[in-house]
Chain A
Amino acid sequence: MTAKQLSPEIEARIQQLWPRFPPQNAAKALCIPVLYLAQQQFGMVDDEVVDLVAKRLDLPAAHVRGTATFYTMFNKKAVGRFHLQICTNIGCQITGAYGVFDRCKKRLAVDNHGTTEDGNVTLSEVECLAACGFGPVAQIAERGKPDIPLYFENLDLERIDQILDALAEGRVPTELGS
């Protein structure tokens, strides 16, 4: 197995962001941005990725690990090719989010934070995505791909079925997003 390496894109981003912080504070301040980019590259932030980031920024691994585990957007273990994230907080709850979420659980045969047997989809219940007027709302991430800048709004059983169908076919249904 070849050892993991941070991509040249991450290096470039570090160079770009570094001068925006006081010299003595920059390495620490870059911890979160670099973890985020590393997760995009490797799909998760496990111990190996933590060590890599710590080494690059010359920070104690314990600090980087503590930071990584504090934030929910860092996946500590591998997630599926698609990460389907559904808000069930108040605005979405009262417009039917749990019905939508239960449909996902049933069709994917997983629990919250579970991954389908084929590794295709991980399902997560998330907190308010600040799109409450158009709930229930979901976001989707695809491993190794840039962020998908879309919200999947006004979900009902029909729309979530269409989303699940598309994910099963191996694609993000961008036509359903806004």
Chain B
Amino acid sequence: MGSFDLKIISKYFDLPEAKDVDYYVQHGGYAAARKAVRMDPATILGEVKASNLRGRGGAGFPTGIKWGFVPQGSQTVYLVVNADESEPGTFKDRHILFWNPHMLIEGMIIAARSLGVRNAYVYMRGEMLREYPVLQKALDQAYDKGFLGERCFGSDMALDITIYRGAGAYICGEETALLSSLEGGRGWPRLKPPFPAVKGLWGQPTIVNNVETIANLPWILENGGQAFADLGVGRSGGLRIVSVCGHVNKPGVYELPLTVTGRELIEDVCGGIRGGRKVKGVIPGGVSMPLLTADELDVPFEFDALQNDERIREVEVQPGVKFDLGGGRTLRTMAGSGGVVVMDDQTDMVSACWRILHFFADESCGQCTPCREGTGWLTKVVKRIDRGHGRPGDVELAASIADGIAGNTICALGDAAAWPTLAFLTKFRDEFEAKIRSSTFVAQQRAAAEQGAP
């Protein structure tokens, strides 16, 4: 695969010089933005649409289509880059921000031109203590060079970019919660519609895009949307950045063609499983996404394939009863945030499931009852199974709680807790049941029954 060698965003990873604006410019940087500020906004939008760029923040929504939702003739439009990366298992945006801040800034200038944006923000996760000064310095340099400010590259386009730092709340990665937070309050999600592209920050049309999504724009403008589309497969253009963690020999952040399968990712890219062990489960895109078993890894880690490939088992509510995503659609998994978590054959799947649930219960903002109550209850049930106090029927109970959360909440955090739980229960049910069979609760029941027996 020749395109394995192509690097778009990752070409500056591990290259400290690239943080400097002069180095970046000498190597062709900001040429696309310089061109963009004098281009017709509609032409840029056309390229982005043709590129088949899909959002890298989790949902994989086509970027050009999203931009097209901004009402014609809007006076004030905001651009907000989602740099809140906090989906467990995901560490690619932080890597981009640290190694390649100028490519993000350049992408923002291009997006701002197309969307008619005067003020753009980067909502940066508060815990990114190392990345914040790097991006701030890159911004200062871009201002000094006249790339930003009143007259970008000497044109009549004005653009200010401001970093807004979060303060510790996973939910602020959800775009409407992010906007609530940026307005200066609790990070509470809002009901959609209206979508932010129509009514977002301070009630104005707002485009929220992920760091990686935006950082792809300079390449698209330079090489054309069609070239980007050609790099991808089907309805997904370009390459994809994944972060791989867990029990592999070479964890890290990799930019790869969308045709790479889970098995190739683990074996060829990440040097296989540590200690010569075998793989047991793989989360393909952050902990919100249903995990895959060892025999489901020959599917490309691409948006549509992970959703539709029949080699991936459908998630069930009970054995034989498929989970309904709505409208009769079933759930396999999704590409999500690109955060790949690889678990070897020694991993305790019940413990892993509990830790994921513990996270969601803690991070629920508490606005909707199914999410607030459901995640807490679910965590309690799975925890007691994990700690050896499970009761007969707990697997069914957990599945029914999860099913009751899914689809019944304001934002997708509810689904994010329910889906992976159902996948663990569908694919590793025997581990949960084995823990229940050997639990103290079952032992006490048995002892009581024996005592009571004549």
The residues of A with any CB-CB pair to B shorter than 8 Å are 17, 20, 22, 25, 27-33, 35-36, 63, 66-67, 70-74, 88-91, 93-95, 126-135, 139, 147-151
Contacts and interface: CB of A to CB of B under 8 A. Distances in A.
A17 B163 CA distance: 10
B310 interface: no
Interface in B152-174: 160, 162, 164-170
Contacts of B202: 22, 25
Interface stretch (B124-132, B189-197, B325-333, B438-446): B124-132
Given A128-B89, A132-B246, A133-B91, 4 more contacts: A29-B184, A71-B167, A94-B352, A128-B87
Nearest to B169: A71
Contacts of A27: 184
Interface string B79-91: 0000001111111
Interface in B205-248: 243-247
B251 A133 contact: yes
Interface stretch (B20-28, B41-49, B61-69, B356-364): B356-364
B341 interface: yes
Contacts of A91: 88-89, 245-246, 341
B373 interface: no
Interface residues of B, number: 56
Contact of A74 (B167, B185, B246, B343): B167
B275 to A, nearest CB: 12
A127 B170 contact: yes
B351 interface: yes
A132 B29 CA distance: 30
Interface of B: 85-91, 93-94, 119, 125-130, 132-133, 160, 162, 164-170, 181-187, 202, 243-247, 251-253, 283, 287, 339, 341, 343, 347, 351-352, 355-356, 359, 362-363
Given A90-B356, A91-B88, A135-B245, A36 B186 contact: no
Contact of A149 (B133, B167, B253): B133
Nearest to B363: A127
Nearest to B251: A133
16 contacts: A32-B166, A32-B181, A36-B165, A70-B169, A71-B168, A73-B127, A73-B168, A89-B88, A89-B355, A91-B246, A93-B351, A94-B343, A132-B246, A132-B341, A133-B91, A147-B132
Nearest to A151: B130
A93 B94 CA distance: 20
Contact of A70 (B91, B187, B287): B187
Contacts of A32: 164-167, 181, 184
B162 A20 contact: yes
Candidate in A30, A73, A130, A133 with the most chain B CB atoms within 10 angstroms: A130
Contacts of A66: 185-186
Contact of B160 (A20, A31, A148, A149): A20
Contact of A134 (B128, B169, B251): B251
B252 A133 contact: yes
B170 A73 contact: no
B160 A90 contact: no
Contacts of A132: 88-91, 243, 245-246, 251, 339, 341
Contacts of B186: 66-67, 70
A133 B89 CA distance: 8
A118 B162 CA distance: 40
A150 B130 contact: yes
Contact of A94 (B85, B128, B129, B247): B247
A25 B246 contact: no
A31 B93 CA distance: 26
Contacts of A88: 355
A73 B126 contact: yes
Contacts of B244: 133
A33 B164 contact: yes
Nearest to A72: B168
A30 B252 CA distance: 36
A105 B170 CA distance: 25
B127 A129 contact: yes
A22 B89 CA distance: 36
A130 B88 CA distance: 7
A32 to B, nearest CB: 6
Candidate in B167, B184, B339 with the most chain A CB atoms within 10 angstroms: B184
B183 A29 contact: yes
Nearest to B170: A127
Given A72-B168, A149-B130, A149-B133, A67 B355 contact: no
Contact of B86 (A30, A36, A127, A148): A127
Contact of B246 (A30, A33, A67, A94): A94
Candidate in B127, B169, B182, B351 with the most chain A CB atoms within 10 angstroms: B127
